[in-house]
């Protein structure tokens, strides 16, 4: 380790918690460019979590969901959803409130149910590194978010050592998981000269419905026109994914690198147990041009990308398909996302470093539902969002100063302009949807937000055994297209718009203001002088959010077929699904994360033993009504005993989650009970092969994750007959095995 370059590094069986120079925060390159990045003169005062390549490989046999790789990070959980598309939750903020970049691209979920979140576009086998900047992220890593920042990168290109050599390498892997009969595999191959590199990555994954730890519903037919499910079978959890990617690398000089990345995703189906619809197709194409250069004056990096998604929803195999003469409910979304980011890093002297950069993003969205028959869904195409526009222009500057050996500061300012608009809409027919469409079409839909972010951070290092970081951030996020432009107050249409998996129906609000979060955070880090034997990190934080985008029950509008909607009864309804409109409130979120590590010893015959643990707590409150915010993760902890000897690595993990009894009354959020899970894992490396074996949920515990949402995995999900009060149960015992061969 280079003193002064890496602040404090703690290895947790591949999970590295470290703070590094922002010059390294998104891309790592080879040769002279890599050396300049590694030896950047200053290091930013940001406590972040990093999963490196080895840590990610250790997870690949037991998950097909990239977001779930982050479960070991203190303060982080995931919203449960599709088997390969969960949503990250970090210190009370989730989904669009986090800035998530994949290979430098700001991806956007193109779906009324957010079934294709950013991290779902890259398979776990392709990820080389994930960095998490919790809470107070510098303005160079922020923008259009009020929580932290997550950066996922695929592998950088590799090159031959000299002109006479040709680099040839690759990797094959496969796995099987018993619960849900999950199976899959991946392949990567690299062919490179001294100046040119070609890499291919491919991955497939497939699974049936998984089983819970016990029966949670009656066995039998899921709907009048569907088959039967066992009492413990969780409906709408099957999936199949296919991912392909090419990376072409050109070493322009020893300090300049150009990459052209192309990625294609094809998902034939992915069930959703907490949504009324399922994904029946998701096709995405990404083209990403990346330039990195090191010069005498500093560093320059640029990304130019274009991504296009075609997404379809329909009722899957476990949800009723026919409603009278209406053959299902086809829903399609087309998203087009183009972006450019440019950033520079300029060392002025041994003390001062300046970063200047900017972002441009142009996003277009069409969300339309073709007629399927009957009185409610014919004869026209329903336009949920017609030519939705969301364009973002941002610029920032950041000053970092190393005043002396004990003090380091960071100050930054960022301005963003977010412009949103949408064309006129129509419903399936004039009788049921005409009034709502007329109100929306007459509204002022061209909205422009002028957003400012500020960050002030400082780090104090009194000696070799401690450091203290504290700071303040003002961060801003504008609403997404669904929060502003979903327009219909018809019950059936509202139930099809749901970003959080609670079973309720939602309508947008063109009058929404951007969210503004004021976050204060302190991190204390204590460790031994050599940073090898033990470490304790404690981070309390609090965020005051003005104009937090919550939801309130609507009243006074329609009460059509398929259930009453915005009526007086909706305002007082309990123990049932309700109808809501997005609205601004003032909110407060606060909590703390505690992480610890201890090296227990190293015996010549028995090997090395280590223990690590995390403890996280967060609470969110509506400051106007004192109601709890929706889907806050309760007190939770992880304790891992790790053992390593020669080529063997073994671990026992104990996961503890408290009951969720503070719930959002406005949404009739469902409470969950506390639980504890035990996981066993082992791996062995033999020459060029690595073998993985493990058991998740060893004792087949029956539980529901607090963020799992309402169970909508079977039955007549378009209507109102789905029973309220059942949460999506977690997966029961699952034995997994995997093998990876490198060549």
Q: What is the mean pLDDT of the chain?
A: 91
| Token code pair at residue 665 | 């009354």
Q: What percent of the chain lies above the pLDDT cut of 70?
A: 92
Whether 476 contacts 416, CB under 8 Å:
yes
Phi and psi, residue 437, nearest 5°: -60, -40
Question: What's the confidence (pLDDT) of residue 10?
Answer: 29
Cβ neighbour number for residue 309 with a 10 Å cutoff: 23
Q: Between 627 and 375, whose confidence is greater? A: 627
The number of CA neighbours under 13 Å toward the Cβ of 283 is 4
Whether 333 contacts 112, CB under 8 Å:
yes
Residue 366 pLDDT > 70: yes
The least confident of 8-17, 53-62, 196-205 is 8-17
Q: Are strands 15-18 and 466-477 parallel, antiparallel or unpaired?
A: unpaired
- Strand ranges (E), 32-102: 48-51, 76-82, 85-90, 93-94, 99-102
Find the angle CA(56)-CA(61)-CA(66) to the nearest 5 degrees.
50
Q: Are strands 149-154 and 99-102 parallel, antiparallel or unpaired?
A: parallel
Question: What's the confidence (pLDDT) of residue 6?
Answer: 28
Question: What's the confidence (pLDDT) of residue 477?
Answer: 98
| Token code pair at residue 481 | 């297209």
Query: Dihedral, CA atoms, 623, 505, 634, 153, nearest 10 degrees?
Result: -100
Question: What's the confidence (pLDDT) of residue 481?
Answer: 98
Residue 35 pLDDT > 80: no
Per-residue pLDDT of 157-193, as tens digits, reads: 999 999 899 999 999 999 999 999 999 999 999 999 9
Q: How far apart are CA 643 and CA 599, in angstroms?
A: 10
DSSP 715: B
Q: How far apart are CA 453 and CA 139, in angstroms?
A: 7
Mean pLDDT for the stretch of residues 382-386: 98
Question: What's the confidence (pLDDT) of residue 49?
Answer: 85
DSSP 296: T
Q: From residue 379, how far is each of 231, 326, 370, 376 by CA, in Å?
A: 39, 11, 9, 9
Mean pLDDT for the stretch of residues 519-547: 96
Question: What's the confidence (pLDDT) of residue 52?
Answer: 87
Question: What's the confidence (pLDDT) of residue 736?
Answer: 98
At 223, is the pLDDT very low, low, confident or very high (cuts 50, 70, 90)? confident
At 53, is the pLDDT very low, low, confident or very high (cuts 50, 70, 90)? confident
CA nearest 503: which of 710, 222, 360, 706?
Answer: 710
**DSSP assignments along 20-35, one per residue:** --GGGSS----HHHHH
| Token code pair at residue 567 | 């009526």
Residue 81 pLDDT > 90: no
CA nearest 728: which of 457, 501, 556, 425?
Answer: 501
The least confident of 73-82, 576-585, 647-656 is 73-82
The number of CA neighbours under 13 Å toward the Cβ of 10 is 26
Q: How far apart are CA 157 and CA 255, in angstroms?
A: 14
Q: What percent of the chain lies above the pLDDT cut of 90?
A: 86
At 23, is the pLDDT very low, low, confident or very high (cuts 50, 70, 90)? very low
Question: What's the confidence (pLDDT) of residue 479?
Answer: 98
Give residue for tokens 């006074």: 556
Computed on alpha carbons and rounded to an integer, the radius of gyration of the chain in Å comes to 25
Question: What's the confidence (pLDDT) of residue 101?
Answer: 96
Per-residue pLDDT of 96-129, as tens digits, reads: 999 999 999 999 999 999 999 999 999 999 999 9
Q: Between 180 and 12, whose confidence is greater? A: 180
Q: Which residues fall within 8 angstroms of residue 682, CB to CB, at 6 or more apart?
A: 648, 649, 650, 651, 692, 693, 694
DSSP 628: B
Question: What's the confidence (pLDDT) of residue 599?
Answer: 96
Q: Between 16 and 625, whose confidence is greater? A: 625
Whether 329 contacts 320, CB under 8 Å:
no
The number of CA neighbours under 13 Å toward the Cβ of 197 is 27
- What is the spatial order of strands in the sheet that 105-106 belongs to? 10-12, 15-18, 48-51, 127-133, 149-154, 99-102, 105-106
At 36, is the pLDDT very low, low, confident or very high (cuts 50, 70, 90)? very low
Phi and psi, residue 181, nearest 5°: 50, 45
Tell me the whole-structure pTM to 2 decimals. 0.92
Mean pLDDT for the stretch of residues 520-529: 95
Whether 80 contacts 709, CB under 8 Å:
yes
Q: How far apart are CA 294 and CA 594, in angstroms?
A: 38
**DSSP assignments along 147-213, one per residue:** S-EEEEEEPPP---SSTT--EEEEEEEEEEETTTTEEEEEEEEEEE-SSEEEEEEEEEEEE---B-S
Mean pLDDT for the stretch of residues 290-303: 96
Whether 387 contacts 393, CB under 8 Å:
no
């Amino acid at each position: 380790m280079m003193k002064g370059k890496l602040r404090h590094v703690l290895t947790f069986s591949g999970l590295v918690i470290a703070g590094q120079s922002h010059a390294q925060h998104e891309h790592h390159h080879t040769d002279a460019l890599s050396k300049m990045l590694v030896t950047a003169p200053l290091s930013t005062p940001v406590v972040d979590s990093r999963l490196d390549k080895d840590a990610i490989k250790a997870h690949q046999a037991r998950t097909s969901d990239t977001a779930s790789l982050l479960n070991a990070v203190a303060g982080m959980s995931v919203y449960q959803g599709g088997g390969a598309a969960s949503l990250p939750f970090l210190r009370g903020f989730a989904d669009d409130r986090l800035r998530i970049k994949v290979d430098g691209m700001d991806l956007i979920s193109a779906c009324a149910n957010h079934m294709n979140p950013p991290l779902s576009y890259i398979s776990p086998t392709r990820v080389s590194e994930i960095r998490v900047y919790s809470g107070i992220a510098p303005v160079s890593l922020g923008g259009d978010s009020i929580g932290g920042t997550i950066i996922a990168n695929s592998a950088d290109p590799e090159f031959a050592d000299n002109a006479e050599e040709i680099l040839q390498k690759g990797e094959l892997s496969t796995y099987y998981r018993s619960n849900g009969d999950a199976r899959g595999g991946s392949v990567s191959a690299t062919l490179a000269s001294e100046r040119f590199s070609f890499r291919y990555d491919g991955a497939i994954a497939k699974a049936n419905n998984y089983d819970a730890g016990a029966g949670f519903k009656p066995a039998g037919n899921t709907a009048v026109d569907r088959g039967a499910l066992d009492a413990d079978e969780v409906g709408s959890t099957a999936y199949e994914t296919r991912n392909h990617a090419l990376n072409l690398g050109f070493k322009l000089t020893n300090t300049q690198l150009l990459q052209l990345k192309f990625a294609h995703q094809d998902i034939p189906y992915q069930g959703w147990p907490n949504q009324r619809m399922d994904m029946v197709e998701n096709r995405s194409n990404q083209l990403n041009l990346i330039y990195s250069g090191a010069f005498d004056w500093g560093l320059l990096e640029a990304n130019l990308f274009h991504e296009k998604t075609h997404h379809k929803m329909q009722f899957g195999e476990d949800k009723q398909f026919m409603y009278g003469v209406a053959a299902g409910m086809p829903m399609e979304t087309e998203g087009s996302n183009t972006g450019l980011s440019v950033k520079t890093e300029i060392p002025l002297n041994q003390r001062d470093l300046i970063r200047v950069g900017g972002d441009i993003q142009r996003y277009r969205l069409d969300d339309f539902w073709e007629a399927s028959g009957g009185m409610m869904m014919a004869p026209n195409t329903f336009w949920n969002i017609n030519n939705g526009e969301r364009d973002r222009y941002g610029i920032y500057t950041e000053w970092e100063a190393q005043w002396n050996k004990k003090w380091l500061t960071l100050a930054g300012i960022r301005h963003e302009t977010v412009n949103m608009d949408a064309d006129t809409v129509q419903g399936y027919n004039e009788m049921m949807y005409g009034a709502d469409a007329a109100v929306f079409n007459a509204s002022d839909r061209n909205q422009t937000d002028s957003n400012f972010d500020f960050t002030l951070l400082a780090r104090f290092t009194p000696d070799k055994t401690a450091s203290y970081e504290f700071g303040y951030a003002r961060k801003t996020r504008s609403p997404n297209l669904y929060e502003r432009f979903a327009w219909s107050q018809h019950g059936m249409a509202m139930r099809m718009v749901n970003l959080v998996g609670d079973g309720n129906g939602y309508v947008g609000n063109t009058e929404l203001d951007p969210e503004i979060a004021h976050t204060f955070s302190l991190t204390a880090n204590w460790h031994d002088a050599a940073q090898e034997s033990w470490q304790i990190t404690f981070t309390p934080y609090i965020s005051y959010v003005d104009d937090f985008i919550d939801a309130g029950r609507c009243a006074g509008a329609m009460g059509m077929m398929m259930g009453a909607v915005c009526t007086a009864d909706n305002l007082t309804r309990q123990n049932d699904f309700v109808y809501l409109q997005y609205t601004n409130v003032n909110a407060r979120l606060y909590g703390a994360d505690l992480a610890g590590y201890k090296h227990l010893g190293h015996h010549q015959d028995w090997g090395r033993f280590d223990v690590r643990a995390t403890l996280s707590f967060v609470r969110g409150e509506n400051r106007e009504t004192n109601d709890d915010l929706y889907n806050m993760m309760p007190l939770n902890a992880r304790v891992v005993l790790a053992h390593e000897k020669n080529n063997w690595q073994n671990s026992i993990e104990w996961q503890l989650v408290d009951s969720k009894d503070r719930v959002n009354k406005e949404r009739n959020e469902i409470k969950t009970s506390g639980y504890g899970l035990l996981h066993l894992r082992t791996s062995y490396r033999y020459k060029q092969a690595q073998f993985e074996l493990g058991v998740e949920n060893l004792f087949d515990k029956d539980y529901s994750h607090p963020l799992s949402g309402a169970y909508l995995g079977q039955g007549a999900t378009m209507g109102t007959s789905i029973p309220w009060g059942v949460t999506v149960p977690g997966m029961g015992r699952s034995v997994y095995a995997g093998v990876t061969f490198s060549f």
